[in-house]
Amino acid sequence: MTSDPKAQELFRESVETGNSDRCMDIRKRIAQRYPSTVEGFFCKAFISHFRDNDLESAKIYYQKAIDLKLQSPEAYLNLGVIFNSEKAFIKAVKLLEKALELWPRSDRIEYDLAWAYLKLKKYDLAIKHSSNALKANPKNLAYLNLHARILMFQRNLNDSLKYCNLALEFAPSNTYLLETKANVLANLKKYDEAVDVVESIMQNDPNKSKVAIDLAIFFQQNAKNYALNGKFREAFEYYLKAHKCYHAVATRVLGTDVEDRMKMMVITLLASGIRSGTVDNQINTFILKNRRLTKVSFEELLGAVFCGKELDNEFKKLFHVYDQAIGFPYFARKYEAILRLSPEAKSILQEVRKEIDAGESCFTQDKPFIVDTEHTKEQTLEQARKHYFKALTFCERLNWKYEQAVCYEKIAVTYVAEHNTSNAIKYIEKQIESLKTIENYPAVGDAALNLIQFYNKSNNREKTANLYEQARRIFLKLNDEAALRLLEGFKDSKKI
C-alpha cells in the first residue's frame, strides 16, 4: 500500500493544525493505523526525529516516504537538516533543493541551503540563499548571523560587520552574534575592538570561552613571530592583547587551565617587555612568586638563541633570575653550552626550531582568524605531527633531551586533539622520561599532572596512584603549593 485516503486526510490536518502538540498526536495515530503507507513512513520518521531523537531510524523512514513519492517538502527538508547536522553537506543540498522546488518561498529552506553551501565553501550560492531568507524575514537573528559569516568568508569584511551590528541592535547580548563580530574585527585587524567584544562575550556567557582562547592563541602566534624576528616591542604589544583575552576567561571560568595559561603569558609578556625597554626589573619579584610557570619564557628565549641571536645583558640577568626561581641550574648550563657549540650543532638546533615552528604554523598559516576548519582538521594535525617528528630526529642526533621532551609533548597534543588517548599517553610518558634524564623536575611534575588525567580516562588506577605519589614528592621538594593544591583536587574529586 502506497497511500490511503484517510491517512491523506489526517496528514493534511497535521500540516494545517498550527499546534505542535496536536500535530504530533495526529502523526502518532497515522503511524499506528497506517504504518505501511507513504504517510505512515513519514510520520514514523517524524516521531523518530523530533520525539525520540533517533536520527538513524528517521533517515530510513524519511527515505522510504521519499521513495514512495511523498510530495511534501517536509520530508526533503527534515532529511536535509539531518544530513546538515551530520556534515554530509552534498546530500543535504540535493534534498534541500528539492524541498525548495516544492515550497519555493520558504525562508527556512533558504537558510538551511545557505548553511550547507557555506560548509561546502560555495560562497556565491550561500550568499544567494541567505539573502533570500533575509528578504522573507529581515529581523531573524540566525539569518542575520549566517549572512554576516558568509560575507566574512567571502572577505567582504565591512559588509559583514554591518550585518553584525544590525543584528546586535535587536539583541545586543547575543553571544553568537558577538562571536561573529569578534571574528570579523580580528580579520579587519581591529584587534583592540575584537578584544573588547570578547570581554563582552565572557560577561554575558562564561561558557563561550572558546572564542577568547582562540583569539589569545592568535595573538600569541603573532607575538612569537615578531619575537623570533627580533621585534620585541611589537611582540610585547601582542602579548598584552593575549593576556587580556586570557584574563577575561580566567576571571569568570572556574575549573579550567586558563588561569595557569594567563600566568605563563604574563611571564613571557614581561620577558618581552624587558627586551623592548617597556618593563623594568620588577619582573624578578613576579617570577619568584610563580616558580612552576617560568618554563614558557625559557622556551621563548632559547628559541631566539636557536635562531642565532645572542642574548644581551638584560636577558643574561633574566636567565640567572629564572635559575633561582626554578631551583636548578639546567637552563644556565644550557645557555653556556649553546655558546660553545660547533657551527654544525648550532645549525641542527636551528633546524629543530624551524620544524617545531612549522608544526605550530600548520594551525594558522594562510587562514583568516577562526575560520571553519572542520574539513581540514585531521590533515592539519597530521601535517603538524610530521614536522614534530622531523624535529625529534634532529634532537636525537645531538641527544638533547629537553628538546626531545618538547617534541614529545607537541606530538602528544596532536593526539589529544584527535581523542587518541593511548598515543597521547605514550608520548607524555616519553616526555617525562626525557625530562627525568636532565633532572628537570618542575617540568616532570607538570607533565605528570597531564598524564594523571589521561591515566584516569583509561581507568589505569595502579599507574595513576604511582604517578600521583611521584608528583607529590616532586612538588613537596619544590615547595610548590599551587601544584600540590591541584594534585589534591584530583584526589578530592575521586579521580585517584
Same domain, 200 and 216: no
Same domain, 240 and 151: no
Rounded Cα gap, residues 404 and 393, in angstroms:
9
Asked if residue 360 belongs to a domain, the reply is: no
Same domain, 234 and 247: yes
Averaged pLDDT, 420-443: 82
Same domain, 235 and 316: yes
Residue 8: count other Cβ atoms within 10 Å of its Cβ.
15
Rounded Cα gap, residues 148 and 154, in angstroms:
10
Residue 192: count other Cβ atoms within 10 Å of its Cβ.
9
Rounded Cα gap, residues 112 and 77, in angstroms:
9
Same domain, 317 and 256: yes
- For residue 46, give the 3-state DSSP assignment: helix
Rounded Cα gap, residues 444 and 189, in angstroms:
39
Same domain, 219 and 329: yes
pLDDT for the residue 51: 87
Averaged pLDDT, 96-121: 93
Is residue 491 over pLDDT 70?
A: no
On whether the CB atoms of residues 225 and 275 are closer than 8 A, the answer is no
- The helix or strand, by DSSP H or E, that contains position 5, with its residue range, turns out to be helix 5-16
Rounded Cα gap, residues 296 and 404, in angstroms:
16
Provide CB contacts within 8 A for 215, sequence distance 6+. Answer: 182, 186, 194, 195, 198, 245, 369, 370
Which of 190, 207, 224 is a domain's end point?
207
In percent, the amount of the chain with pLDDT more than 90 equals 20
CA dihedral 318, 320, 322, 325 (to 10 degrees): -130
* Banded model confidence at residue 283, pLDDT cuts 50, 70, 90: very low
CATH code, domain carrying 160: 1.25.40.10
On whether the CB atoms of residues 125 and 105 are closer than 8 A, the answer is no
Closest CA to 281 of 328, 309, 311, 315: 315
Same domain, 215 and 242: yes
* Banded model confidence at residue 272, pLDDT cuts 50, 70, 90: low
pLDDT for the residue 486: 66
Which of 207, 227, 257 is a domain's end point?
207
| Higher pLDDT pick, 375 / 130 | 130
Provide CB contacts within 8 A for 376, sequence distance 6+. Answer: none
pLDDT for the residue 492: 52
Asked if residue 225 belongs to a domain, the reply is: yes
Averaged pLDDT, 210-229: 76
Number of residues that make up the chain: 496
Q: Which single residue is written with the C-alpha cell 623592548?
A: 276
Is residue 126 over pLDDT 80?
A: yes
Asked if residue 317 belongs to a domain, the reply is: yes
Same domain, 248 and 173: no
Long-range contacts of 293-299 (CB under 8 A, 24+ apart): 293/260, 293/263, 293/264, 293/267, 294/267, 294/322, 294/325, 294/326, 295/326, 295/442, 295/443, 295/446, 296/264, 296/265, 296/267, 296/268, 297/267, 297/268, 297/271, 297/322, 298/322, 298/331, 299/406
Same domain, 199 and 213: no
- Helix 401-417, helix 421-437: angle, nearest 10: 170
pLDDT for the residue 302: 47
Is residue 193 over pLDDT 70?
A: yes
Closest CA to 299 of 281, 322, 317, 278: 322
Which of 172, 191, 207 is a domain's end point?
207
* Banded model confidence at residue 148, pLDDT cuts 50, 70, 90: very high
Segment 321-338, tens digit of pLDDT: 444 444 444 444 555 555
Same domain, 249 and 302: yes
Mean pLDDT of the chain: 75
- Rg of the chain on CA atoms, in Å: 28
Strands (E), 82-217: none
Is residue 440 over pLDDT 80?
A: no
Averaged pLDDT, 457-476: 76
Residue 345 CB-density burial (10 A; 0-12 exposed, 13-18 middle, 19+ buried): middle
Rounded Cα gap, residues 319 and 472, in angstroms:
27
Full residue range of the structural domain in which residue 306 is found: 209-338
pLDDT for the residue 325: 44
Same domain, 200 and 239: no
Asked if residue 400 belongs to a domain, the reply is: no
Number of compact structural domains in the chain: 2
Is residue 268 over pLDDT 60?
A: no
Rounded Cα gap, residues 259 and 100, in angstroms:
49
Closest CA to 275 of 313, 240, 325: 313
Rounded Cα gap, residues 24 and 222, in angstroms:
54
Dihedral sign of CA atoms 46, 48, 52, 54 in order: negative
Closest CA to 299 of 356, 256, 363: 356
Rounded Cα gap, residues 472 and 449, in angstroms:
10
Rounded Cα gap, residues 240 and 462, in angstroms:
43
Asked if residue 255 belongs to a domain, the reply is: yes
Asked if residue 301 belongs to a domain, the reply is: yes
Is residue 158 over pLDDT 90?
A: yes
pLDDT for the residue 230: 66
* Banded model confidence at residue 363, pLDDT cuts 50, 70, 90: low
* Banded model confidence at residue 297, pLDDT cuts 50, 70, 90: very low
Is residue 495 over pLDDT 60?
A: no
Same domain, 199 and 258: no
Asked if residue 292 belongs to a domain, the reply is: yes
Segment 371-430, tens digit of pLDDT: 444 444 566 778 888 888 888 888 787 777 777 888 888 888 888 777 788 888 889 889
Asked if residue 493 belongs to a domain, the reply is: no
